[in-house]
Chains A and B, each alone.
Chain A
């Protein structure tokens, strides 16, 4: 036996206090970023040890990587970091469309980076330079290690660019639907933190592979 008022409560949407804790979310994101730092960090240590051992071959290998392509990709990623930071700043000011446009530019930069990277790798593949290729195995050990680290580290980084671009697209969808907005911006902020980390890793990868020759 229920009165109409009670029935309305049971049939209607169940009210609950939605838990949104941007500070905990941000700290959690940073903890995840620290694991990423240590993931790339171990590869940087491997690089440092082998650089010490095969310095001449690393410099020789670096001569064969295109500085200007690397620099172009650096400029693209730095610009994408700017547009990402500004997309967050725009949403904080409740400028939804401006925020979406800036995030879209960020995704386009990610795409441009990947296209350029694929041409760079494709050119190496065309010269039969990839891990375990016949040309590669005929090279001195130091150069094999240099190219091994090059493909591993830039490949892992490119994977992060792909994931970052997809997460930005997801964040754009949530902003578009209003689920992420000026009062609830955590998801976009954390996406930005991830994207800036991807930029940060590239800031170290670029000189270590392209500029030491």
Chain B
């Protein structure tokens, strides 16, 4: 019983983070029809900014958080302005290839300038002691992360479904040329989508980093990958699905971690995530959870 409880707790806690990444992925997907493969790494980059502000400049955690999110948003906006904007007519595949370039760029810059092998330490935002559940200590940071993920999910959903701006975002994914003719400010919509996706990644990375304790190049892309799996599980065009998918992936990872803890198969959770993606695509590509709204989902 204790075991199951522990798995549940671990799964929920990490699931919140994965849900956050998944929300960013689905937002970009619904807003552009493409996937931003650099989205995770933008979060890592933001983390390095947070480290710099916290550790080198000695400022409080919140300053680091602002720096992280700010740098991430700037990166997202810069990429949108410099690259995406000149690719209005390009296919999703081409846009995705451009994001692959950004991913490699960030990884290479981080490795070169922040030293590959020496991880930078990250602190906890809330120094209070945590709650103990089933023998696991859940820190206030982790609880906050879960709450934040839910809040972001609700926020995005409300934005896309109930505001005119959100409608413009969805429409722009279908036909970027046509929306301009009906008065949607494509630039604003596009900037929002790429900036918000980046911000959400930085947020996710910020809240899991203290648990891990340090940041290295490629750090958040691993989280992004679980977020990607979560988005696939939930159906790439569903925001609530993304959040729920995050929990599912969190539970899957926690379960495999517990079941295979003694085996000779290292880090099974990555294998599990991969197999989950394969299974979902094979058996139920529209996602395990009902897709709400159509968005750009019909043709991935």
Are A and B physically bound partners?
no
- Residues of B whose CB lies within 8 Å of any CB of A are none
